[in-house]
Structure 1
Amino acid sequence: MGQRMDAPLIALIAGEASGDILGAGLMQSLQARYPGARFIGVGGQEMAAAGLESLFPMEKLSVMGITEVLSHLPELLRLRKQLVRFLLREKPDVVIGIDSPDFTLPIARRLHDRGLKTVHYVSPSVWAWRQGRIKGIKKSIDLMLCLLPFEARFYEEHQVPVAFVGHPLADRVPLETDSAAARRQLCLEADATTVAVLPGSRGGEVGQLMPAFLDAMVVLNRQRPALQFVVPAANAARREQIEALLAGHPGLPVTVIDGESRTVMAAADVILMASGTATLEGLLVGKPMVVGYRVGAVTFAIASRLVKSEFVSLPNLLCREEMVPELIQDGLTTDAIVASVGHWLDNPDKARALISRFQAVHQQLRGGASEKAAEAVSALLERTP
């Protein structure tokens, strides 16, 4: 492989929209360092706009869920083989897989075995479950780029080269949240105490959580008639699902909004939400929250054996202690939800203490993730083999 460090050939592989955004940011920061760099691989519109020559459309990789993946498996394996052949022929100076670990890490393994430098951007949740995967990751990559500090600590303990780069979302979300402006934007009552209810973005998730959330909303409404509830629907199908459930409670003061989940959270006094990446947004907008998690009994029985993590929500994982209530599986009861939401509404001093802790975490995650990622990739590029 010839040294072309003034104009490196950089390969990037993204499989979904969030990876496309991360990839584009990283490419722009690498371009500032290497104006002559050329980018090849697979990406979406954002990466194409930043100058990526994509071997095939990223949408071919964007399948979700086990059943969908199985039906697309022959095609996914064919694309993976095509990509590996292409990259072995082109011999880029570095190959960067972005998220989508089930697709990108096996590619990294094959390329790494053939002497190419490989990077993975966005850690899979190895610290939480299937920890044995760390051995395979160690053999597949030269560098892991982590968005969160506790992930970096895990890789350090397992002697995998790692750089903590922070979270791009922390740079995009302002440090101060203007709740009044968010309420105006959503046409909500300015002075009413507001509870945002986020039952998740997938159908199964909404089916498991929304009935439990709804029962609690009915009790809260009876206890505190002045409360207003606002629910963001992730898409048209979720809106239909949520409205069908709400139809049984015609008197409930609920506003359903299309999308705008971050604005909805910003408008709230307390958030009742599904566990997932949205809990990080809740932390970044600085809101007290109650986190619910419920899956099918069989899935839970399997997952609870595999999971090694003490907490399920990112705020608790990032603060390394139970800052917000986590109501898991059978613990997700009407009484528990009502008590947990009430706790934040009735203890403004505790809510303020939580918010100031969240702001400290927000500061820690800020600071130009794309720039830090480019710096770490650049150090790897310039390291002589």
Structure 2
Amino acid sequence: MRFDIHVGKSYVNTPRPQIAEIIADINHRIHQPNYAKVGLVSTFAIAIVVVCLSYVWLGVFILLLGGLGSGTLAYYRQRDRLTTLNYRCDNDIQLRFVTVQNACQMLAQSEKIWMEAACKPVTNKGRNAGASQVISLSKTPVKVACVSPPFIQTNIKVWAIDTGFLRLFFLPDYILLWRRQLYSAVSYSALKIGCDRQQINIAGDLPSDARILGQTWQHLTSDGKPQPGIRSNQKLFKVQYGLLRVMATIGINLRLYVSNVDQAERFTQSFCSVQQWLSPRQPWEQRQAHTPPKSSVDTLGFSQNRPAHEILGVKPNASLADIRSAYHHVARMNHPDKLIGLAPEFRQLAEQRMKAITAAYKTLSQQSRREQTRSGRP
């Protein structure tokens, strides 16, 4: 599937796909049934049975033929799961996007970035190097790099922040969020980014770009000196990191500790400058983003004339059992409850899709029952 996306005032009269349409289509393609695995397992089982019956060469031939067929199915499935986003931006949007790319590149120059995993208040500061809270950082560092989003190819360079469980991909018009094998999106104006300087007491090796303020010990006296008589009183470094906060109302609340304070502050300043630049243009952006889809075509491209079997992804002469199985799978993947907490247009899209899916199921099931009645089958 290919989407041609024109962004900017210069293309205000150019037809443009809705972000909800794009997200729904990508998620639908990603979770298509994997028949290649089923075919490979079935072929292997048949080959084992044939070999056990002493037809060794026939079993090998079946295994090779099944492997070739499964590989072909896997190739076409991978191709069908891929979505192409072709962007064309006017000069203003291009300038904004380049600023975002440069900001990500500056942040990527930091040697280490960690995500805050937990934060607990301290009751006895004397046993915790005088700190007011204990912070647990993620074991795996956060990555900032120019990468390709999963199952998406595009004609632009896409920078991303990868925290492990959540990835943010910066596009010219929206920020894509990838988590739990599903995409969602948030506008630049809805993402809140801030940066503070945070002092942390840490032991062990330090990043080379970290700002060291001094040293302390794990156990301190009231006047800040190491407690005498404690042999295991660990020496700690006082380090200043940049605390980068990334928040949005759709359930994003990241606290990232950046070893290079200057790069963290530059990233925040550049990103906020883009948001300020966008503010007077936001009404136009909102009109583009929230224009309701046409009634004859829903936001996944399910036109009223599209065959019911294509909506459920079954053959025209599929059995009633296959129709039910396909309906339950498609309905489960596109149920509105999966979009709780996202923007209203996403839920509107899901509701429209569920209506189309339910109507297709009713049509196919009625046809299947009529065919069973004609043929005299139960």
Q: Structure 1 length as normaliser, TM-score?
A: 0.22
**More helix per residue:** 1
* Higher Cα Rg, which structure: 2
**More strand per residue:** 2
Q: Structure 2 length as normaliser, TM-score?
A: 0.22
